[in-house]
Amino acid sequence: MSKKLFKSFGYKAIHIIALVLNSILLIPILLKYWDLKLYGAWIALYSFFNLIQVLGLGHSVFVGNEFNRLVHKNKEKAKIALGSAFRVNFLVSFLELAIVAFIYFTGILSFFLDEEIDSSIVATVLSMFFIYRMIIGSYRGLAVKILNPFGYIYKAFQFALYESIIEFLVLVIAAIVGLDLIGLAILWVILKSLLSLFVLLQVRKILPEYFPWWKYGSLKNGIKNFRISSSFATSNFLDRLSNDGLVLIVSAFAGTTILPLFAATKTIVNFGLKLSELYLSPLAPEMIIFYARDQKTKILDVFKSFWFVTGVLLIGGYTISLFFIEDLFTLWTHGKLEFNLVLYSALIIILLIQNYGKIITTFFTGINKTNIVLLTSIIRIFLLFTVAFLFKELGLYAILLGLFISEVCISLFWLPYNAFTVFEYSTAGKAKFLINFFTVLLLGVLYYFNYMGIGVFPLIVFFLPIVAMLFYQYTLISKNTRGMVTRSFKKLITFAAK
């Protein structure tokens, strides 16, 4: 691994730590200064923002992948792809703003909010956010993409860290000072605009030969690539539906005021998944390079190491947390939210299953297998909403059931089926490919026994087969990769200690 890749791990680790601290500190502060209605309104508002902006994000992901694929083969074509993206970007941002107007005037926005919440204020805030993206924010997102193929992905992680700090400060200041949503939005836009300007100047300084970014290409080519990227945008939108869309469904059927409990519980679970991002994000460009060189064995080793490392960290961490999480949750939220063990345990299993399939999806995204990525999202959302509707009398638990069934079908059948068409596997090899998935299912049985209150000692005994399965996963990794994993974490720890 190169020094730049190790730097990427290090800065990604710092970014993740910042995100964790952000959530740990932010939620109790907002609960202290905001009532549940205002807090819920903000959560719903930001969920709408995340859903709508996937139009631009999907476009930038596609352009970034194209630039990464072309820049070392044909630099001129890479510049054309980048310049065309900058030319069409204004139209993409305008479409996002038009969507805000559409959901407001059709009443879609008010459907997902409590009657006491003024939907016109929410629409105004969303409009301010997307005007910011139209002017500068989305251009920053495109410019940062050119850093990846030159080993500067760690700079992108630095910029993301700065953004997390700014967003934290905006919310804290707004809560303490008592700003309303409009005042919060004004402060958000000003600070994020300054950050975007800083990032653009930094990217220009790092890679001056590609500036001006809009010099090459054409609007026609940009529109063409945007149409191609629509599958990425659709896929990202469907993925967001299973996250931010889920928040809005809870808001619509259980009330906006329950969102703080749902979001706080999901936030705790997401802490662990940030660790998987630490291991996965810097390796995503590497998998693209391995695929271009037809080094499929190395890609499979990346899969195996990801499953083992994240399995040990996440399964171990989540399981230990069961012994103290309720008291910690009550202390953390100042007793304003009541801990729900079923919700917590279910989200852990669901997100661990999702984590198993995440690296496969990341691989297909990186090599621009748009049909597979899109169909994955369609299947996930179809199953989620179908099951949730069929069992709607269960309320929140119907949504959890839908999430579980959809992730099982995706990770057990759909993604492995497509992976087996790329990589040659024997029947025994296919079973080994799924070992991490079945480890998570066994963990789900353990969590059910914990909910039933069978006692600590039986839980420890039942956990031993899970440990054995994790060790077996370790033996499946090649010796070279085992050493690489060990060295990576040693250097990461050394980097963080400096």
- The number of folded domains in the chain is 2
Specify if 247 maps to a domain.
Answer: no
pLDDT value for 239: 72
How do residues 241-256 score in pLDDT, each as one tens digit?
777 888 888 777 767 7
Q: How confident is the model at residue 197 (pLDDT cuts 50, 70, 90)?
A: very high
174 and 122 in a single domain? The answer is yes
Chain centroid to Cα 189, Å, comes to 23
Specify if 222 maps to a domain.
Answer: yes
Q: Give yes or no for residue 153 having a pLDDT over 90.
A: no
Q: Give yes or no for residue 488 having a pLDDT over 60.
A: no
Q: Give yes or no for residue 11 having a pLDDT over 70.
A: no
Q: How confident is the model at residue 104 (pLDDT cuts 50, 70, 90)?
A: very high
204 and 329 in a single domain? The answer is no
Q: Give yes or no for residue 484 having a pLDDT over 90.
A: no
How do residues 315-331 score in pLDDT, each as one tens digit?
988 998 888 999 999 99
Residue with the bigger pLDDT between 411 and 487: it is 411
Chain centroid to Cα 82, Å, comes to 24
160 and 274 in a single domain? The answer is no
283 and 406 in a single domain? The answer is yes
77 and 100 in a single domain? The answer is yes
Distance linking the first and last C-alpha atoms of the chain: 20
- Segment 117-134 shows an average pLDDT of 90
Q: Could you tell me the CA-to-CA distances from 367 to 23, 62, 143, 284 in Å, in that order?
A: 33, 10, 20, 10
Residue with the bigger pLDDT between 13 and 356: it is 356
pLDDT value for 459: 78
Specify if 249 maps to a domain.
Answer: no
Average pLDDT, the chain: 82
pLDDT value for 1: 45
Which segment of 53-67, 230-244, 407-421 scores lowest on mean pLDDT? 230-244
Which segment of 339-348, 378-387, 487-496 scores lowest on mean pLDDT? 487-496
pLDDT value for 409: 94
Look at residues 217, 240, 263 and tell me which one is the last residue of a structural domain. Answer: 240
220 Cβ partners below 8 Å, 6+ apart?
none
Specify if 390 maps to a domain.
Answer: yes
Q: Give yes or no for residue 498 having a pLDDT over 60.
A: no
Q: Give yes or no for residue 157 having a pLDDT over 50.
A: yes
Cβ atoms of 342 and 350 closer than 8 Å: no
Cβ atoms of 249 and 328 closer than 8 Å: no
pLDDT value for 7: 59
206 and 279 in a single domain? The answer is no
167 and 277 in a single domain? The answer is no
Identify the top-confidence range among 19-28, 143-152, 165-174, 214-223: 165-174
Q: Give yes or no for residue 496 having a pLDDT over 50.
A: no
Q: How confident is the model at residue 428 (pLDDT cuts 50, 70, 90)?
A: low
Look at residues 195, 210, 240 and tell me which one is the last residue of a structural domain. Answer: 240
- Segment 64-68 shows an average pLDDT of 78
Specify if 245 maps to a domain.
Answer: no
Q: Give yes or no for residue 126 having a pLDDT over 80.
A: yes
| Enclosing domain of residue 310 | 255-498
What does the block give as tokens for 479?
């010796």
58 and 95 in a single domain? The answer is yes
pTM score: 0.72
260 Cβ partners below 8 Å, 6+ apart?
27, 31, 36, 39, 40, 43, 337
207 and 259 in a single domain? The answer is no
Specify if 86 maps to a domain.
Answer: yes
Identify the top-confidence range among 365-374, 475-484, 485-494: 365-374
332 and 376 in a single domain? The answer is yes
Specify if 248 maps to a domain.
Answer: no
421 and 322 in a single domain? The answer is yes
Task: Write a three-state SS string for the chain.
Answer: CCHHHHHHHHHHHHHHHHHHHHHHHHHHHHHHHCCHHHHHHHHHHHHHHHHHCHHHHHHHHHHHHHHHHHCCCCHHHHHHHHHHHHHHHHHHHHHHHHHHHHHHHCCHHHHCCCCCCCHHHHHHHHHHHHHHHHHHHHHHHHHHHHHHHHCCHHHHHHHHHHHHHHHHHHHHHHHHHCCCHHHHHHHHHHHHHHHHHHHHHHHHHHCHHHCCCCCCCCHHHHHHHHHHHHHHHHHHHHHHHHHHHHHHHHHHHHCHHHHHHHHHHHHHHHHHHHHHHHHHHHHHHHHHHHHHCCCHHHHHHHHHHHHHHHHHHHHHHHHHHCCCHHHHHHHHCCCCCCCCHHHHHHHHHHHHHHHHHHHHHHHHHHCCCHHHHHHHHHHHHHHHHHHHHHCHHHCHHHHHHHHHHHHHHHHHHHHHHHHHHHCCCCHHHHHHHCHHHHHHHHHHHHHHHHHHCCCHHHHHHHHHHHHHHHHHHHHHCCHHHHHHHHHHHHHHHHHHHC
Cβ atoms of 113 and 44 closer than 8 Å: yes
How do residues 379-392 score in pLDDT, each as one tens digit?
988 898 888 888 87
Specify if 165 maps to a domain.
Answer: yes
Which segment of 30-44, 167-181, 268-282, 322-336 scores lowest on mean pLDDT? 268-282
115 and 34 in a single domain? The answer is yes
Cβ atoms of 259 and 39 closer than 8 Å: yes
pLDDT value for 65: 77
Look at residues 207, 240, 273 and tell me which one is the last residue of a structural domain. Answer: 240
